[in-house]
């Protein structure tokens, strides 16, 4: 029998350098990892036009380590040695090939390392030269000779290793230094303002405390890299979160889950549970017992829409998650050493929800444009269901809430630009008797984790963290809204009670007449209480009323009764005020409230009549535009706003229910009114509705002279509960909930239409929305 032997060409080194890394910053990160594993406190990188130098103050390489480790291709020493020699750090490298990434940067490498022999205690300097081009021309690895020298040095010479890379490859010498600085610092996790995990410490007692690890990138001795104040800014900004998820998972899969919220020291949520128990129903072993049809993954068809399945029952790595939520809200960064604009800019430049393996960020999850958790995909699709299989276990969604855009928490899912966090893991060499599918492992390129059941489980765990923030953000904001409404109602009832008390004790009013007025006020008080109670039920039960935003709660029969009583009271109060001047202010306030409530009632009565006919019908557009805007005319007049309609009297309207058309018009006009009132200055306050038909489509444009919408908010305006105008006493309709455009968009889409914010408004206007709806066939041009 003949025997064959593998022959390894020396060109393997070129392959290792070219294939292991794809970008210069990845190659540098691999060399930085070697410094970290050598227990260095600092790693310096100098980038010059003809040379890249990476130096550290670690324990260096002895001659034995150089020959037995450095010169051995793909040594498993780091895989077996889980912690570093001095500070017991988890080893960042495990493949034994990371040093060959220097080949990616240049064709010549000089290794200069000072170390102390652990036996003789002699301090030596080892210098070796690597000519990668000459090495790759050799016929075999055995034929490659690396010249090196070893000399004794004084005890005053510090230990450490310096790598000097010259003869830089094409493109590397013209590297954008600032870009490399940013990318490398991103990969070594500069997020000093986040909490770091404790699991990187071995259970053994370290000989001395770890001083930490710092990377400095500069082009000269005077340039010391990022200024110190950057760290202070990071800590200040990251401490100003609105919401935060802190999650620890030990190697047995026990989860410690906490949620913190702005203004509260103690967690608002604190749970402990078994990750394995929650994962088991979604494992390949469990799916194999399923009798029904499965998809290409072996996943039951009823779970087909759930991504990243099947799951592994465990990760074989501890996990620590610190995820923080930074929505753009008023006062979010108040009191920081930087203003809100700078804080948001810092978050945009540095933010990500990255995976950090043994203190080094994995590039595939660190890029600002990375949507590895499919969060932006969910936002663009207006996804209404939880995507993590863990979230429904703890936060099941009520069907009514799921159908209601105002209450569905998935529609409050933070965007990636609003999240800043880290997912710390500690991958290790897989044991021979452990299933590969349940073991987190980095790919050979070190940029991502191997796609398996363990990665799927990590995905659902991280997505659960983001969805938990959405759950509590929606829950707490709804509670705040409801509390504000209760306060307003309580304030109104208190004011009415004070008026009753004042009239009862007045000595200037004839007793019989005074008693009559008091009884009328008490009747109004009762009616208002009944209206409040009915309002709560109406707001939940009538889906069509969502088109009315905050006005929906006022569509009640009890309101009409309360208004009739208030009208009588107002007339009586005005009469009394003539005799008792101290009552004039209360009488004027009652009159003002009566006018406002009357407008609300007219508004809602009109809509209720049209809502009784939900089927599409033919109508003339101008007539319905006039009717729909009539209810808002008094409010517009109070604020000096003119509303005009530009539409032919005979123009056919779209083939949709009249109530839907009214709802769209009223929401667009009321939003425009708020924007116009919010604008500072003496500019003309005007809103104009343009309507026309083109082909088989009806076109409606609502333009205003309001405050406008900045470019960076043009996508956000469609999000439920997002508003650019807020609420104030000067705001018409005083809502500011941000519901209008979201609901209008949903209704328009339901009737095969489209709504868009025009890039340019008509001449003389600042903002314009364009709605396109289908015409009836007989009305098409």
Tell me, what's the pLDDT at 370?
A: 81
| CA dist 37 → 79, 88, 128 (Å) | 12, 9, 20
Residue 130's SS3 state is strand
pLDDT by residue (tens digit) across 109-157?
999 999 998 888 899 999 999 888 888 777 677 777 889 999 999 998 9
Tell me, what's the pLDDT at 740?
A: 64
- What is the per-residue burial (b if ≥16 Cβ within 10 Å, else e) of 632-661? beebbeeeebebebebeeebbbbbbbbbbb
Question: Could you write out the three-class secondary structure of 515-567?
Answer: HHHHHHHHHHHHHHHHHHHHHHHHHHHCHHHHHHHHHHHHCCHHHHHHHHHHH
Tell me, what's the pLDDT at 124?
A: 95
Distance CA 145, CA 600 (A): 90
Tell me, what's the pLDDT at 70?
A: 82
**Contact 408/742 with Cβ under 8 angstroms?**
no
Task: Give the residue among 480, 486, 382, 473 at the shortest CA–CA distance from 419.
Answer: 473
Distance CA 217, CA 309 (A): 41
**Contact 110/127 with Cβ under 8 angstroms?**
yes
Give every residue of the chain whose pLDDT is below 50, as ranges: 5, 10, 17, 75-79, 94, 190, 201-207, 220-231, 534, 536-557, 721, 727-730, 732-739
Task: Give the residue among 290, 472, 283 at the shortest CA–CA distance from 389.
Answer: 283
Task: Give the residue among 701, 693, 626 at the shortest CA–CA distance from 654.
Answer: 693
Tell me, what's the pLDDT at 607?
A: 58
442 token code pair: 């980095």
**Contact 541/403 with Cβ under 8 angstroms?**
no
Tell me, what's the pLDDT at 629?
A: 86
**Contact 38/84 with Cβ under 8 angstroms?**
yes
Tell me, what's the pLDDT at 634?
A: 75
**Contact 453/437 with Cβ under 8 angstroms?**
yes
Report which DSSP code applies to 51.
Answer: E
Residue 44's DSSP bridge partners are: 55, 216
Tell me, what's the pLDDT at 556?
A: 42
| DSSP assignment string, 353-412 | EEEEETTEE-GGGTSTT--TT-HHHHHHTT--S--SSSHHHHSPPPHHHHH-TTT-GGGG
Q: Characterise 734 by phi-psi region: left (phi > 0), alpha (psi -120 to 50), beta (else).
A: left
Tell me, what's the pLDDT at 26?
A: 74
Report which DSSP code applies to 172.
Answer: T
Distance CA 670, CA 631 (A): 11
**Contact 213/92 with Cβ under 8 angstroms?**
no
């Amino acid at each position: 029998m003949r025997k064959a032997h593998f022959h390894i060409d020396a060109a393997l080194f070129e392959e290792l350098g070219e294939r292991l890394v794809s970008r210069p910053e990845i190659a540098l990160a691999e060399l930085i990892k070697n410094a970290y594993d050598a227990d260095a406190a600092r790693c310096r990188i100098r980038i010059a036009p003809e040379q890249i130098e990476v130096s550290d103050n670690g324990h260096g390489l002895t001659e034995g380590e150089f020959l037995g480790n450095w010169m051995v291709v793909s040594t498993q020493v780091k895989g077996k040695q889980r912690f570093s020699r001095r500070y017991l750090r988890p080893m960042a490298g495990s493949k034994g090939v990371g040093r060959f990434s220097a080949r990616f940067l240049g064709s010549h490498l000089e290794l200069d390392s000072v170390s102390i022999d652990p036996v003789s205690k002699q301090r030596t300097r080892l210098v070796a030269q690597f000519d990668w081009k000459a090495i790759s021309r050799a016929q075999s690895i055995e034929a490659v000779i690396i010249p090196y020298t070893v000399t004794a040095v004084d005890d005053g010479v510090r230990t450490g290793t310096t790598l000097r890379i010259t003869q830089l490859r094409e493109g590397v010498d013209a590297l954008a230094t600032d870009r490399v600085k940013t990318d490398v610092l991103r990969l070594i996790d500069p997020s000093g303002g986040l909490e770091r995990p404790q699991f990187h410490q071995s259970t053994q007692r370290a000989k001395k405390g770890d001083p930490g690890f710092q990377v400095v990138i500069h082009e000269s001795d005077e340039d010391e890299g990022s200024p110190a104040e950057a760290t202070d800014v990071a800590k200040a900004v990251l401490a100003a979160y609105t919401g935060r998820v802190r999650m620890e998972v030990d190697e047995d899969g026990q989860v410690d889950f906490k949620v913190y919220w702005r203004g509260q020291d103690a967690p608002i949520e604190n749970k402990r549970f078994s990750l394995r128990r929650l994962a088991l129903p979604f494992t390949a072993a469990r799916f194999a017992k399923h009798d029904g049809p499965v998809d290409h993954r072996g996943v039951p068809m009823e779970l087909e829409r759930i991504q990243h399945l099947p799951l592994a029952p465990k990760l074989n790595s501890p996990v620590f998650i610190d995820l923080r939520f930074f929505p753009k809200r008023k006062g979010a960064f108040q009191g920081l050493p930087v203003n809100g604009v700078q804080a948001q800019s810092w978050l945009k430049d540095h933010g990500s929800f990255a995976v950090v393996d043994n203190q080094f960020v994995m590039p595939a999850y660190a890029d600002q444009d990375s949507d590895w958790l499919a969060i932006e995909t969910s936002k663009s699709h207006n996804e209404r269901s939880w995507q993590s299989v863990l979230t429904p276990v703890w936060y099941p969604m009520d069907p009514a809430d799921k159908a209601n855009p105002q209450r569905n928490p998935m529609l409050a899912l933070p965007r990636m630009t609003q999240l800043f966090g880290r997912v710390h893991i500690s991958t290790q060499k897989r044991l021979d008797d452990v299933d590969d599918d349940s073991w987190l492992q980095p790919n050979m390129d070190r940029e991502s984790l191997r796609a398996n059941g363990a990665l799927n489980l990590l995905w659902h765990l991280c997505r659960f963290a983001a969805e938990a923030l959405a759950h509590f953000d929606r829950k707490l904001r709804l509670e705040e809204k409801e509390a504000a409404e209760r306060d307003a109602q309580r304030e109104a009832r208190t004011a009415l009670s004070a008026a009753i008390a004042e009239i009862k004790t007045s000595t200037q009013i004839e007793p019989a007449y005074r008693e009559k007025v008091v009884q009328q006020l008490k009747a109004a008080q009762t009616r208002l209480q009944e209206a409040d109670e009915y309002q709560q039920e109406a707001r939940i039960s009538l889906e069509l009323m969502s088109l009315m935003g905050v006005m929906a709660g006022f569509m009640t029969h009890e309101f009409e009764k309360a208004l009739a009583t208030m009208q009588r009271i107002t007339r009586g109060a005005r009469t009394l005020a003539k005799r008792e001047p101290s009552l004039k202010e209360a009488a004027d306030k009652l009159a003002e409230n009566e006018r406002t409530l009357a407008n609300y009632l007219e508004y809602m009565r009109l809509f209720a009549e049209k809502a009784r006919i939900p089927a599409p019908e033919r109508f003339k557009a101008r007539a319905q535009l006039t009717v729909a805007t009539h209810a808002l005319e008094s409010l517009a007049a109070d604020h000096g706003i003119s509303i005009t309609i530009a539409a032919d009297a005979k123009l056919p309207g779209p083939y949709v229910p009249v109530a839907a058309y009214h709802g769209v018009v009223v929401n667009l006009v009321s939003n425009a009114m708020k924007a116009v009132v919010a604008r500072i200055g003496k500019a003309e306050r005007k809103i104009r509705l343009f309507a026309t038909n083109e082909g088989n489509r009806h076109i409606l444009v609502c333009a205003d002279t309001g405050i406008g919408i900045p470019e960076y908010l043009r996508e956000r305006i469609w999000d439920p509960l997002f508003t650019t105008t807020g609420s104030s006493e000067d705001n018409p309709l005083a809502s500011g909930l941000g519901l209008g455009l979201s609901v209008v968009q949903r209704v328009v889409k339901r009737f095969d239409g489209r709504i868009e914010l025009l890039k340019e408004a008509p001449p003389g206007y600042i903002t314009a929305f364009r709605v396109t709806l289908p015409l009836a066939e007989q009305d098409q041009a």
